[in-house]
Amino acid sequence: MTKKKKMKPNIKREWCKGCGICVEFCPEDALIMDEMEKAVLAYPDKCTGCMLCELRCPDLAIELV
Amino acid sequence: MAVKDYIREKFFPHIWCPGCGHGIIMGGLIRAIETLQKEKNDIVIVSGIGCSSRICGYLDFHTLHTIHGRALAFATGVKLSRPELTVIAPMGDGDAFAIGGNHLIHAARRNIDITAIIMNNNIYGMTGGQYSPSTGYGEFATTAPYSNIDHPFDFVNLAIGAGASFVARTTTYHVTSMIKIIEKAIMHHGFSVVEIMSQCPTYFGRKNKFASAVEMLKYYRDHTTPIGSKDKKNNPDLIERGIFIEKEMPEYCDEYDKIIKMASKGE
Ligand code: SF4
Ligand code: SF4
Ligand code: SF4
């Protein structure tokens, strides 16, 4: 039996406007802003796949895959 | 289906400013429709004018981007001629309650099966930050540089007073409950008003000393509370969120249909 892979955010950089909402409200502090002011999943191991970043992104730039 | 199946991707990234709440509402609306498994072809989105109303351009349903304040007039026409369609009218606060205020109260009174989503950012964003009917007393706008002396409407009470059969309030911070509320509002057979408190960091935020969209979301988190909570008793200034009214009432298109039948028999 294969363990079901947890979904993780995939961030579309061209759509991210760097508002910082996903980073600020990620319950696990898994996301950071990079030097280009784009959100990145810096700590994938911390991510629980809660979806909150995807749901709160005003630019529909995040999709859990 | 995925979110991308409900949008017109060629228009993305969208025009809204970084952190604008309207994008969160659009995402919420898409997810509610996705959960309800509605056919794209059975959905009509009708908007008026304003930053909020741009939503029509991005959503891949039948969409009508109409004139300022008149979204509900067009929506009423669509619904009366094709009652089987799901009609949703996303509107800004000024669009819905100033320019379109009369359309709104009468649509509520008739109880026509339309879902009105009020994207309330307390300001006119598109035209440069003028105060709207929901800008608070003492708040600032480009047209109220010394502070606003008008008192704001309470949209929830106004909608209830006008007779809407479903009335709710939520915020862009509370996304998961926002999605559930939109689902219920769409399923409700009658006129639904959902006020969603939405941040305009560019105008309302800057004028009212919110450093960022993040700060505005924190404000929604810290200054709202579920209806009837203990916190509300201790701190009456908290804004309540949740479903205030959900009641069964004769729906306008059904009633109109009955009249047609009665009149045809009478020949
Ligand atoms: S919420 Fe969206 S737009 Fe804002 S920083 Fe995160 S990915 Fe970028
Ligand atoms: S899915 Fe949840 S835990 Fe994972 S990055 Fe997004 S907000 Fe953080
Ligand atoms: S002006 Fe305000 S409401 Fe309009 S897009 Fe910018 S942040 Fe959003």
**pLDDT, tens digit (0-9, with 9 covering 90-100), for B45-78:** 999 999 999 999 999 999 999 999 999 999 999 9
pLDDT at res. A2 = 55
Q: How distant, in Å, are the alpha carbons of A59, B159, B228, B248 from that of B163? A: 35, 6, 21, 12
pLDDT exceeds cutoff 90 at B206 = yes
Atom index in ligand 3 nearest the CA of residue B199 equals: 7
pLDDT at res. B1 = 86
Please tell me the distance in Å from B223's CA to the nearest CA on chain A: 17
Q: What is the mean pLDDT of residues B232-258?
A: 97
Q: Which residue has a Cα nearest atom 8 of ligand 1?
A: A16
Q: What is the mean pLDDT of residues A1-13?
A: 82
| Cα–ligand 1 centroid distance for A47 (angstroms) | 16
B20 touches chain A (CB under 8 A): yes
B3 touches chain A (CB under 8 A): yes
Range B141-166 burial, b when 16+ CB lie within 10 A, else e: beebeeebeeebbebbebbbebbbbb
Contact B175 A56 (CB under 8 A): yes
Confidence bin at B39 (pLDDT 50/70/90) = very high
Hey, which residues does B124 pair with through a beta bridge? B130
Domains and CATH numbers, chain A: 15-64 (3.30.70.20)
SS in 3 state form for chain B?
A: CCHHHHECHHHCCCCCCCCCHHHHHHHHHHHHHHHHCCCHHHEEEEECCCCHHHHHHHECCEEEECCCCCHHHHHHHHHHHCCCCEEEEEEEHHHHHHHCHHHHHHHHHHCCCEEEEEEECCEECCCCCEECCCCCCCCCECCECCCCCCCCCCHHHHHHHHCCCEEEEEECCCHHHHHHHHHHHHHCCCCEEEEEECCCHHHHHHHCCCCCHHHHHHHHHHHEEECCCHHHHHCCCCEEEEEEEECCCCCHHHHHHHHHHHHHHCC
pLDDT at res. B9 = 97
Which residues have CB under 8 Å from A45's CB, separation 6+? Answer: none
Q: What does the CA dihedral A52, B172, B30, B79 come to, rounded to 10 degrees?
A: 160
Contact A59 B31 (CB under 8 A): no
CB contacts, 8 Å: B175 with chain A: 52, 55-56
Q: Is pTM beyond 0.90 here?
A: yes
Q: How distant, in Å, are the alpha carbons of A59, B32, B61, B185 from that of B6? A: 14, 11, 7, 19
Confidence bin at A6 (pLDDT 50/70/90) = confident
Structure letter (DSSP) for residue A44:
T
% of chain B residues with pLDDT over 90: 99
State how far Cα B211 lies from the chain centre: 25
pLDDT at res. A5 = 73
A interface test, pick of B14, B33, B55, B180 with most A CB neighbours within 10 Å: B14
pLDDT exceeds cutoff 70 at A49 = yes
CB contacts, 8 Å: A55 with chain B: 24, 27-28, 31, 175-176, 179
pLDDT exceeds cutoff 60 at B155 = yes
pLDDT exceeds cutoff 70 at A4 = no
CB hemisphere CA count around B135 (13 angstroms): 27
Please name which of A38, A32, A31, A44 lies closest in space to residue A13, comparing C-alpha atoms.
A38
pLDDT exceeds cutoff 90 at B160 = yes
How many C-beta atoms lie closer than 10 Å to residue A48's C-beta? Answer: 13
d(CA B259, CA B117): 29
Mean pLDDT of chain B: 97
pLDDT exceeds cutoff 90 at B267 = no
| Cα–ligand 1 centroid distance for A17 (angstroms) | 6
pLDDT tens column, B95-141: 999 999 999 999 999 999 999 999 999 999 999 999 999 999 999 99
The fold of B14-264 is: Rossmann fold (3.40.50)
Structure letter (DSSP) for residue A5:
P
pLDDT exceeds cutoff 80 at B13 = yes
| Cα–ligand 2 centroid distance for B231 (angstroms) | 28
